[in-house]
Homo-oligomer: A and B are copies of this chain.
Amino acid sequence: MNAASPDICVVGGGIIGLATACELAGRGLRVTVVEAASIGERAAAGVAAGMIGPVSEVDVSHPDLTRFALASHRDYPAWIEQIEAVSHIRTGFDRTGTLWVAVHRDHVAWLEHLRAFQIDRGLNTIRLTAGEVRAREPLIAPNTSGGLLASDDWQVDPRRLLGALIEVLAQYHGTLLQQVSVERVERCDEGWAVVAGGERGRTRIEARSVLLAPGAYGTGLLEPLLRDTGLRPVKGQVARLRGEIDVHHVIRTPDVYLVPRADGEVVIGATVEEMGFDGRVTAGAVHDLLREARRALPGIAELELVEVRAGFRPVLRDHLPAVGRIDEGLFIAVGHYRNGVALAPITARLLADLICEGVADQILAPFNPLRFAQPLVANAVPT
């Protein structure tokens, strides 16, 4: 280790890795981020719609996860304010809210079910009649029979956010290495060495601490450190439309979401597919997304279809993220599944507390990575 060595090396330039790297760099640490591809290319956030929806996601979230998401939600406005102030990049953060709509009878029943979850957990939504839905969004399908308004479920543009975080990292004198693929981490004299290959040959970065935030691609990295995490990619196909459409809320049905942005983009998502790293965009998925989107908002038919892409959400065996310490100086943040963008600020802040001050907030307890078995240390850290 020498004077040029960073204090911490962050492995993974997705939303979690970059957000935490920025937080650490902002606290004065020398940070190096290593990303296997280009930023946004492999990141799940590069495909994600960017919903910040603890209220809307309640039915698919463990109560611990909802609590974590609500904490992240509280952090969001100030977090975005700082990112935009430092980067001078607008992130598309928008607090208009999310409007759930029912366009057939099954949807009505389903929204009742969602509403029951929300009430049970003390979350705030408002039941709307069809007329009240239309008053808020006149372009919603005329056969809508009602909806739910989740005013606290916001959105951000994840691609802009990734770009802004890169700029923040640069402003904070962090280092970003792209196209460098990390093969393993190993103990070294004063901490950890990150060993990587890549187009520019082999790289070895020594640092006092290492944070692993590899997203869905982390199986090989994690295997020697944690057993049976079951880390796997969950494929999501997402369509991007563009054009003039007078819609302001995030629109959701039980079958689809539509995220309209101020810049004219409308994101439609998303499939949930257990297909490994099969990145193909399929005819059936595109058809299903467009059909359900059109059912809710017929006017999208005239918008330009500009992109369909597949991303890979990282999910662990128990569908909860792993955020914490796995060894002296070795940290992990992985498995944020559908919630990477939503959970980025809280993950970054609490990990930075843990890394800088050794303090683990109680809210992190359910996400302790040591709930997964560790191999013998001899296997874990080859020397």
* Chain B residue contacts of A290, Cβ below 8 A: 283-284, 286-287, 290
Using A305-B308, A308-B305 as known contacts, say yes or no to A287 and B291 having CB atoms under 8 A apart: yes
Tell me the residues in window 302-316 of chain A with beta carbons closer than 8 Å to chain B beta carbons: 302-306, 308
Least Cβ–Cβ distance between A237 and chain B, in angstroms:
10
A294, CB-defined interface residue at 8 Å: yes
A300, CB-defined interface residue at 8 Å: yes
How far is B303's CA from A284's CA once the two chains are assembled, in angstroms?
A: 8
* Chain B residue contacts of A293, Cβ below 8 A: 283
Q: Which of A294, A305, A308 has the most CB of B within 10 A?
A: A305
Least Cβ–Cβ distance between A141 and chain B, in angstroms:
14
Q: Count A-side interface residues using an 8 Å CB cutoff.
A: 22
A11, CB-defined interface residue at 8 Å: no
B-facing mask of A166-181, CB < 8 A → 1, else 0?
0000000000000000
A278's nearest neighbour on chain B, judged by CB, is: B304
Least Cβ–Cβ distance between A186 and chain B, in angstroms:
40
* Chain B residue contacts of A302, Cβ below 8 A: 282-284
CB pair A282 B308 closer than 8 Å: no
A301, CB-defined interface residue at 8 Å: yes
A216, CB-defined interface residue at 8 Å: no
A10, CB-defined interface residue at 8 Å: no
A291's nearest neighbour on chain B, judged by CB, is: B287
How far is B293's CA from A300's CA once the two chains are assembled, in angstroms?
A: 20
Q: How many copies does the complex hold?
A: 2
CB pair B308 A283 closer than 8 Å: no
CB pair A239 B294 closer than 8 Å: no
A380, CB-defined interface residue at 8 Å: no
Question: Pick the contact of A304 from B281, B291, B305, B306 — CB < 8 Å?
Answer: B281
Q: Which of A239, A285, A301, A306 has the most CB of B within 10 A?
A: A301
Least Cβ–Cβ distance between A240 and chain B, in angstroms:
10
* Chain B residue contacts of A285, Cβ below 8 A: 301
Least Cβ–Cβ distance between A262 and chain B, in angstroms:
19
Using A290-B290, A291-B291 as known contacts, say yes or no to A284 and B301 having CB atoms under 8 A apart: yes
CB pair B284 A294 closer than 8 Å: yes
* Chain B residue contacts of A282, Cβ below 8 A: 301-305
A298's nearest neighbour on chain B, judged by CB, is: B284
* Chain B residue contacts of A303, Cβ below 8 A: 282-283
CB pair A284 B300 closer than 8 Å: yes
A317, CB-defined interface residue at 8 Å: no
A241, CB-defined interface residue at 8 Å: yes
A290's nearest neighbour on chain B, judged by CB, is: B287
How far is B256's CA from A283's CA once the two chains are assembled, in angstroms?
A: 15
How far is B303's CA from A300's CA once the two chains are assembled, in angstroms?
A: 24
Write 13 A-B pairs (CB below 8 A) sorted by A numbering. A241-B283, A280-B304, A281-B306, A282-B302, A282-B303, A282-B304, A283-B302, A284-B290, A284-B302, A287-B290, A287-B294, A291-B291, A305-B308
Residues of A within 8 A of B (CB): 239, 241, 280-287, 290-291, 293-294, 300-306, 308
Instruction: Please give 19 more A-B residue pairs, beta carbons under 8 A apart, in addition to A239-B283, A282-B304, A283-B300.
Output: A281-B306, A282-B301, A282-B302, A282-B303, A283-B290, A283-B293, A283-B294, A283-B302, A283-B305, A284-B294, A284-B300, A284-B302, A285-B301, A286-B286, A286-B305, A287-B287, A287-B290, A287-B291, A287-B294
